[in-house]
Amino acid sequence: MRYREYTPLKDGFSTGKLNRITDVPRLRVGHCTIDRDQLTIVRTGVTVLRIDDVISKPVWAASNVFNGYGKSIGLVQVDELGTMESHVFFTNTLSIGAVQQGAVKIALRECHDITSFNAVVMECNDSYLSDIASLSVTDSMAIEAYDGAVKDFKMGSVGAGTGMVCFGFKGGIGSSSRMIEIDGREYTLGALVLANFGRTTDLKIPGLVDVNFEEPQRDGGSLIMVLSTDIPLLPHHLKRIARHLSLSIGILGAPGYHGSGDIALAFSTADRRDPQALTIGEDGSIMSRIFKASVWATVEAILDSMFSSPYTKGFRGTVPSILDSMYQ
């Protein structure tokens, strides 16, 4: 089930066909999931946002760190150059290295002559539900997720989201998209999140003002937010969008806790030579609409990460489904 099946989100925008980040051209998403109870309990995996031809055709990109309690790699060069040459990978905190190796092997497979490559790997800590110290993720799993990437991908407790907890409920992978018209042309923007943050008592769901969640939970975890669009925008425009994505945290009621690594990445799949990039991002009214669409797509993506996830028994305890809690 998705959030929109429960209540409409009245933000003034329509969604794309799939209401996923893959409504944006050049994008697919793949997962590799580990969900086992033998020897030890492991609920983890890898998710990849695959960008067609990104190694040969890098995209304009920028990141923003709202709270830097995180271990993502690859963002330093992205912000220095304003470009991204990598697909975007997601996994657990202790598997960054393994997934980075998988990303490099994919790059070498696509272009065997490269001698330097900036892999982008983003993470959240799933140690409550998964034995993170088992180091169960391997580089081959990153490759498997990449090779299996599709347009209509699964959400919730899958891939990197298998062991994530959001507002005390089962979280994980979420996504949403928005359509926006600029100068008579329709563009798409989409959000993809790895949601693992927030306290239960903080949660405020748009359209559900009468729901009271009373069971307190931990305030650790993180939120990874990725926003992609086919609107031609330059890196400094994308930086502004990335900053605004963190507003989704407050909209849902969380203040941004000490131990939550809240990190955003924004990129454009448009041709980097498109001259409209010089004008669209300088129009304040257009940018305001882009900000609004981006923030609400991110809000919905976070909600979908929970609405798409089941009750889960894990390594250190159990986590309820938000739907089960709402219907009690």
Other residues' Cβ atoms within 10 Å of the Cβ of residue 9: 18
pLDDT at 188 over 70: yes
In a domain, 117, yes or no: yes
Query: Would you place residue 208 in the very low, low, confident or very high pLDDT band (cuts 50, 70, 90)?
Result: confident
Domain that holds residue 145: 12-314
CB 31 within 8 A of CB 47: yes
pLDDT at 286 over 80: yes
In a domain, 118, yes or no: yes
Query: Would you place residue 108 in the very low, low, confident or very high pLDDT band (cuts 50, 70, 90)?
Result: very high
Query: Would you place residue 215 in the very low, low, confident or very high pLDDT band (cuts 50, 70, 90)?
Result: low
Mean pLDDT of the chain: 95
Q: Which two tokens stand for residue 164?
A: 């994530």
Other residues' Cβ atoms within 10 Å of the Cβ of residue 327: 7
For position 221, what pLDDT does the model report? 84
For position 326, what pLDDT does the model report? 81
In a domain, 6, yes or no: no
The per-residue DSSP string of 230-277 comes to SS---HHHHHHHHHHHTHHHHHTT----TT-EEEEEEEE-S-TT-GGG
In a domain, 325, yes or no: no
In a domain, 161, yes or no: yes
Domain count of the fold of the chain: 1
pLDDT at 210 over 60: no
CATH number at residue 122: 3.60.70.12
In a domain, 320, yes or no: no
E strands, the chain, are: 27-36, 42-51, 59-67, 83-84, 88-92, 120-124, 165-166, 169-170, 172-182, 185-196, 222-229, 261-268, 312-313, 318-319
In a domain, 321, yes or no: no
Residue 312 DSSP SS3: strand
In a domain, 252, yes or no: yes
How far is C-alpha 193 from the chain's CA centre?
A: 2
pLDDT tens digits along 217-264:
666 689 999 999 999 999 999 999 999 999 999 999 999 999 999 999
pLDDT at 63 over 90: yes
- Mean pLDDT over 31-53 rounds to 98
Per DSSP bridges, beta strands 169-170 and 165-166 are antiparallel
- Mean pLDDT over 175-200 rounds to 98
